[in-house]
Amino acid sequence: MDALRHRGLPHAAVVMTPETATVHVDEIFLSLQGEGLEVGRPQLFLRLGGCPLRCTYCDTPRSWQASGSLSIQEIEAELDRLLHEAGLRREQIMLSVTGGEPLEQVDFLAAWLPTWGGLVLLETAGVYAAKLRLLLPYVHLLSLDWKLPNTVRQGESLLEPAACLAVAVVSGVAVQVKLVVTAMTTRAELEDAFAAIAKISPGCTVFLQPVTQFGAGPGPPTGKQLLDWSLQLFHFHLDLRVLPQIHPMLGIR
C-alpha cells in the first residue's frame, strides 16, 4: 500500500465523472473498525488526503496533505485486490471513507460512491453541511466527529456540526456522533454539545471517546471522569456510550 501513497500524480479533475475523477488518497487498507457502532467488524478503509483542520489530538497528521492522486479505476483495483485476498465481495463488508476530511473531495465522492455497490460509512469532522447533503443518499452510516472547543488549532470557523447533524436527520441516514474527550475537556463543554445534539436529534447515539494520546498531544481523562460525565449527561436522554479506540490496543491500523 505504501506504493499508493504520495504518488504526486496530477491534481483532481475540474469536472468529475466516473471516467475522469481523481482523488487525493492517503492510504487504503483492510482492518477492524476501531470506533463507534461498527467497532470490531472488519472493514475496508479509504483514507483520503487533505484536511483544513488542525486538531490538537490528530493521530494522522500525514493525512493533512492533499497528495497522492488516484483514479477511480486505481482505487477500485486496490480495494478489490484486498477483498479478493480476504475472499470477500464488495457487498459483504462496509467501506469506511475517512481522512483527512473526506468532504474536501466531495466532487469525487459524488461521482464514485453511487457506483460502489457496498455499504458505506462516511466519517466527517462536521464541516460543509451543504456538501454532506450531496453524499448522504450513498451513505449507510454517518460518523460525525463533533469537535469540542479548544481542540481545533486551525479551521475552527469551518465547523458546522449542528448543521451537518440536521442535514443527516432530514436525510434519514443512520448517525453516530463522536466526541473525542481529553483530560482538559470540561463538563460545561459537554453540556453545550449534548444540548445541541439532543435538540436536533433526540436519542442520538453519542460516543464519548477518550483520546488516544499521540505525540505531545493531550492525554485522556480518567475512567472515573468518564463515568462521572456519563451520569451527569444522562438527563439529555441520548444513547450515550464511552468507548476508546480499540485498534491502537490491538496494534493494528
Binding pattern for the stretch 89-118 against ligand SF4, x by CB under 6 A and - elsewhere: ----------xxx-----------------
CA 203 to chain centre: 21
Among 58, 109, 139, 190, binds ligand SF4 (CB under 6 A): 58
CB of 135 to ligand SF4, least distance (A): 17
What phi and psi, each to the nearest 5 degrees, are found at residue 34?
-100, 0
Q: How far apart are CA 108 and CA 24, in angstroms?
A: 9
Q: What are phi and psi of 148, to 5 degrees?
A: -80, 160
Residue 125, interface with ligand SF4 (CB under 6 A)?
Answer: yes
Q: Phi/psi at 199 (nearest 5 deg)?
A: -70, -40
Name the grid cell of 235: 438527563
Size of the site for ligand SF4 (CB under 6 A): 11
Q: Residue 219 CB, nearest distance to ligand SF4 (Å)?
A: 16
Determine the Cα–Cα distance for residues 59 and 209; give it in Å rounded to an integer. Answer: 14
Of the candidate spans 57-65, 132-140, 223-231, 232-240, the one that interacts with ligand SF4 by CB under 6 A turns out to be 57-65
Please pick, from the candidates 5, 6, 54, 133, the single residue that binds ligand SF4 as defined by CB under 6 A: 54
Residue 162 vs residues 7, 174, 207: alpha-carbon distances, Å: 36, 16, 16
Q: Would you count residue 51 as binding ligand SF4 (CB under 6 A)?
A: yes
Q: Which of 53, 106, 142, 211 binds ligand SF4 (CB under 6 A)?
A: 53
Q: Give the integer Cα–Cα distance in Å for 57 and 211.
A: 7
Q: Is 63 in the site for ligand SF4 (CB under 6 A)?
A: yes
Residues that bind ligand SF4 (CB under 6 A): 51, 53-55, 58, 60, 63, 99-101, 125
